[in-house]
């Protein structure tokens, strides 16, 4: 590791330990949606009113409900019907995850490109996670989607730090090294600060621990397998690993040598999920 990367890593870890790292806040619409979701008596009209204040998010949810993965025989054009079709919990989780995109904006072109890259990868992994969850577990797929969308949330404060420190910004190798090393720690800290439920809050900190094992399949396993699948056909170091040693495949009932893309139905579902989130 370069001297610069080592220095930045020490500074960031110290800032985390001293609670001095400025963590991002949830977008306002996501906060309002989560607040509404915590009310056991919340109804569809109330939730529609909360989400309806954000026209972009409203359009995204209507697009989702009309996607090949979820659509019915007739097209849905209004938010209340979309929420009714998705269900309140599904809507809240999806709205929270999609609202995260508002946070991936920067003031410099270099960081903006990096944020776009991170968000695009997150949506890809969220889509694969949705399909894995729906086909190989009994867990709610909307939570797997949310887990995929937020699994790299810890990259944001690191990129903010890089914007303020030109030396790191101009050294992409050191920047990537710092991101890989630190973002799981920061990401878990962020989700716990936001009071995300434990099964999702644990994902950023553990999805890249390929020696991890747990008593039963969880969202860490799903995002872990989705991450590995997302790099198939590339030269990423993950493709050089022995996937047969990754317990998450066993817990999902998957053979790591069998590629999901080889299954026409699963491949079509992943394409549909990807289209749904973009």
* Span 154-168, pLDDT tens digits: 999 888 888 887 777
Q: Residue 244 to residues 77, 117, 128, 142, 194: CA-CA distances in angstroms?
A: 45, 29, 19, 28, 35
Torsion of CA 204, 207, 212, 215, to 10 degrees: 80
User: Where does the pLDDT of residue 2 fall: very low under 50, low under 70, confident under 90, or very high at 90 and above?
Assistant: low
Q: What's the predicted TM-score (pTM) here?
A: 0.90
Q: Where are the domains of the chain?
A: 3-22+104-277
pLDDT at 107: 80
Rounded Cα distance, 126 and 142, in Å = 9
Q: Integer distance in angstroms from the first to the last C-alpha of the chain?
A: 35
pLDDT at 128: 93
- Give the phi and the psi of residue 16 in degrees, each rounded to 5: -65, -50
**Contact of 162 with 186, CB cutoff 8 Å:** no
CATH of 3-22+104-277, one of 3.30.1360.120, 2.60.40.10, 1.10.3210.10, 3.30.530.20: 1.10.3210.10
**Helix residue ranges, H only, the chain:** 3-17, 28-37, 44-52, 55-65, 79-86, 88-99, 109-136, 141-150, 155-164, 166-169, 172-193, 198-201, 203-206, 219-230, 247-252, 264-277
Helices 88-99 & 79-86, crossing angle to 10 degrees? 110
Q: What is the pLDDT of residues 205-247, one digit of tens each?
A: 999 999 999 999 999 999 999 999 999 889 999 999 999 999 9
Closest to 222 in 3D by CA, of 142, 148, 275, 120 = 148
Quick one: average pLDDT of 251-270?
81
Would you put residue 255 in left (φ > 0), alpha (ψ -120 to 50) or beta?
Answer: beta
**pLDDT for residue 1 is more than 60:** no
Closest to 199 in 3D by CA, of 153, 155, 251, 150 = 150
Would you put residue 31 in left (φ > 0), alpha (ψ -120 to 50) or beta?
Answer: alpha
Q: What is the pLDDT of residues 23-77, one digit of tens each?
A: 788 899 999 999 998 898 899 999 999 999 999 999 999 998 888 877 777 889 9
Q: What is the DSSP letter of 240?
A: G
Q: Quick one: tokens of 42?
A: 């919340």
Among 136-140, 164-168, 270-274, which is the least confidently predicted range? 164-168
């Amino acid at each position: 590791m370069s001297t610069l990367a080592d220095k930045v890593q020490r500074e960031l870890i110290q800032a985390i330990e001293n609670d001095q790292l400025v963590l991002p806040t949830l977008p306002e619409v996501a906060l309002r949606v989560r607040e509404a979701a915590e009310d056991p008596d919340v109804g569809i009209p109330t939730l529609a009113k909360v989400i309806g204040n954000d026209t972009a998010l409203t359009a995204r949810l209507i697009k989702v409900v009309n996607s090949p993965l979820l659509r019915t025989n007739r097209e849905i054009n209004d938010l209340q019907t979309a929420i009714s079709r998705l269900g309140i919990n599904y809507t809240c989780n999806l709205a929270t995850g999609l609202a995260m995109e508002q946070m991936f904006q920067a003031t410099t072109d270099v960081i903006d490109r990096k944020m776009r890259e991170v968000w695009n990868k997150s949506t890809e992994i969220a889509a694969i996670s949705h399909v894995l969850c729906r086909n190989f577990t009994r867990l709610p797929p909307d939570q797997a989607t949310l887990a995929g969308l937020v699994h790299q949330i810890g990259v944001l404060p690191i990129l903010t730090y890089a914007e303020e420190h030109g030396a790191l910004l101009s050294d992409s190798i050191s920047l990537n090294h710092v991101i890989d090393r630190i973002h799981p720690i920061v990401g878990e800290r962020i989700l716990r600060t936001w009071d995300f439920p434990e099964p999702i809050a644990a994902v950023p900190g553990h999805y890249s621990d390929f020696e991890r094992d747990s008593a039963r399949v969880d969202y860490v396993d799903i995002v872990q397998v989705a991450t590995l699948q997302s790099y198939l056909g590339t030269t990423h170091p993950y493709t050089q690993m022995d996937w047969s040693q990754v317990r998450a495949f066993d817990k999902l009932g998957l053979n790591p040598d069998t590629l999901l893309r080889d299954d026409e139905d699963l491949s079509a579902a992943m394409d549909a999920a990807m289209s749904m989130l973009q």
